[in-house]
Amino acid sequence: MENNNMPLLGDDFPKLQVQTTHGQMNIPEDLKGSWFVLFSHPADFTPVCTTEFVAFQKRMDEFTRLNTKLIGLSIDQVFSHIKWIDWIDENLNVKIEFPVIAANDSVAAKLGMLHPGKGANTVRAVFIGDPKGKVRLVLYYPQEIGRNIDEVLRALKALQVSDVQGAVPAGWPENELIGDRIIIPPACDVKTAKERLEKNEGYDWWFCHKPLETN
């Protein structure tokens, strides 16, 4: 059996040469310069997966504005993906515009998507990669629970903001304590700790925050 290795945060995204509904792709090489969200689904022609595909597609413009590409994946064959996408268009009036990977067990194993305790299909995995092809976020859901696509969007926005401005709080941008403000890293020496609250808002020297910078 293939090793089922989960990519770790900060790792280079595993190199994959795959067949998709948009033709052959080399990932992450073909995605360099863009953020990307690669998400797996257990099987085509299943209700929960259909709701997820529709939800991702309806938010595709938001992902595009964030310089982010969507890629779906399951271990169904490409002709099954094509037929399912046609069904969604014909019956739900939603045209799926992102590519869908027809993965094999080797590809799924490289991404840690085959969990023996959950059967032979891929679990619901989400990988967010950055423009350098680094793994920045990983989520796994069981087959029976559909994902919240707004949370994927929120996490993507938070990653992009934190890369430039600093850490973000729980539920950002609607945190119960500090709203959309950005957390300042804790001081690492006594002098800075004493100065921290004199120069910034906060609850203590280790919990200071600043306004979100907007373009």
Q: Show me where the domains of the chain are located.
A: 16-146, 165-215
pLDDT tens figures, 41-80: 888 999 999 999 999 999 999 999 999 999 999 888 999 9
Both structure tokens of 78: 């490409």
Q: Report pLDDT for 76.
A: 83
Distance CA 203, CA 168 (A): 16
Q: Are 43 and 49 in contact (CB under 8 A)?
A: yes
Catalytic position from the list 49, 71, 75, 113: 49
The stretch 176-199 carries a mean pLDDT of: 92
2 falls in which pLDDT band (50, 70, 90)? very low
Q: Report pLDDT for 142.
A: 82
What mean pLDDT is reported for the chain? 90
Q: Report pLDDT for 114.
A: 64
27 falls in which pLDDT band (50, 70, 90)? very high
Contacts of 197 (CB under 8 A, 6+ apart): 204, 205, 208
16-146 and 165-215 have identical folds: no
188 is known as an active-site residue = no
Global confidence as pTM: 0.90
Distance CA 141, CA 40 (A): 10
206 falls in which pLDDT band (50, 70, 90)? very high
Q: 16-146 domain in CATH 3.40.640.10?
A: no
Written out in words, the top-level CATH class of the domain with range 165-215 is: alpha beta
136 falls in which pLDDT band (50, 70, 90)? very high
Q: Report pLDDT for 1.
A: 40
Contacts of 29 (CB under 8 A, 6+ apart): 15, 133
Greater confidence, 203 or 215?
203
